[in-house]
């Protein structure tokens, strides 16, 4: 089936959803979009829909990019939601970072109407969304994933099927915990390095050729030490939400987590100090605030 014949809907056209929608449109798919901020659909190149239900009525594939499970549940199950307008044969793809248990229940509810749900956690951030190089970890039936894969290929470089319903969101939470803990730990270490008088670019070179290397040392802090916090990515509040979902998942799996509390505390601290609505990289400034007002950047002269 050609791209023009597949009608794509998108609900949630914010930081990530807007970027992804632009990639889908560039890939030749018409997109019908809804966001509580009505201007966002036009900015992303989509046709504006009046509600999630209107998106479902006018689409074959509906993608969601929303803040959390309660919002996803409202969009799917609420008044003017997707479920009431859905029809057999449609596929809903949830790109949000959601609770796997909520995802499994939504899968069940949609299946009663003959609608498939694919939970598709995404990783790579705003830059990868712009470039169409996101990584997708998907849960749901193989047949449903195959049906939507051409659309996913417009904004992703790798698509992994992790298992049945909820498996994609489970993989995303596990990944995001490692993302959060490496960011928080590296922030702490970099503040300590600044206070110890180390030259930070050289120190990062050491870390990146040593056993302390991680995504934050490679991709975040070489820019942060020069004052570029990579604004536009995941906020501290959303990181905190993901970490709390991880802790909930780990409890459900009956796995001991001696490290989660400290990581969560770091982003709670950032929220308390007013950095919650800024990019999660600002956790380094929260730690710096309580360490004598430390900033990694060299003071301007």
- Contact between 168 and 138 under an 8 Å Cβ cutoff? The reply is yes
Closest CA to 146 of 13, 42, 1: 1
The torsion angle over the Cα atoms of residues 261, 267, 273 and 277, rounded to 10 degrees, is -150
Give the HSE-up count for residue 54: Cα atoms under 13 Å, Cβ half-sphere. 10
| Residues acting as catalytic residues | 172
The phi and psi torsions of 131 (rounded to 5 degrees) equal -85, -10
């Amino acid at each position: 089936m050609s791209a023009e014949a597949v009608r794509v809907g998108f609900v949630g056209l914010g930081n990530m959803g807007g970027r992804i929608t632009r990639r889908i449109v560039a890939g030749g798919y018409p997109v019908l979009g809804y966001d509580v901020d009505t201007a966002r659909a036009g900015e992303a190149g989509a046709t504006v829909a009046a509600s999630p239900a209107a998106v479902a009525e006018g689409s074959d594939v509906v993608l969601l990019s929303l803040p959390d499970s309660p919002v996803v549940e409202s969009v799917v199950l609420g008044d003017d939601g997707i479920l009431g307008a859905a029809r057999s044969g449609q596929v809903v793809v949830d790109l949000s970072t959601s609770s796997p248990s909520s995802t499994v229940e939504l899968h069940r509810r949609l299946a009663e109407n003959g609608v498939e749900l694919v939970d598709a956690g995404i990783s790579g951030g705003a830059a990868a969304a712009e470039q169409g190089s996101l990584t997708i970890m998907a849960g749901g039936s193989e047949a449903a994933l195959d049906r939507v894969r051409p659309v996913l290929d417009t904004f992703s470089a790798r698509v992994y099927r992790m298992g049945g319903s909820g498996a994609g969101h489970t993989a995303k939470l596990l990944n995001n915990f490692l993302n959060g803990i490496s960011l928080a730990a590296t922030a702490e270490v970099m503040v300590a390095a600044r206070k110890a008088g180390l030259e930070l670019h050289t120190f990062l070179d050491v870390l990146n050729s040593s056993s302390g290397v991680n995504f934050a040392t490679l991709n975040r802090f070489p820019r942060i030490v020069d004052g570029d916090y990579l604004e536009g990515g995941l906020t501290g509040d959303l990181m905190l939400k993901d970490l709390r979902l991880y802790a909930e998942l780990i409890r459900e799996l009956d796995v001991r987590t001696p490290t989660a509390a400290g990581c969560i505390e770091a982003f709670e601290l950032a929220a308390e100090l007013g950095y919650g609505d800024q990019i999660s990289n600002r956790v380094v400034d929260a730690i710096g605030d309580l360490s004598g007002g430390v900033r990694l950047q060299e003071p301007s002269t």
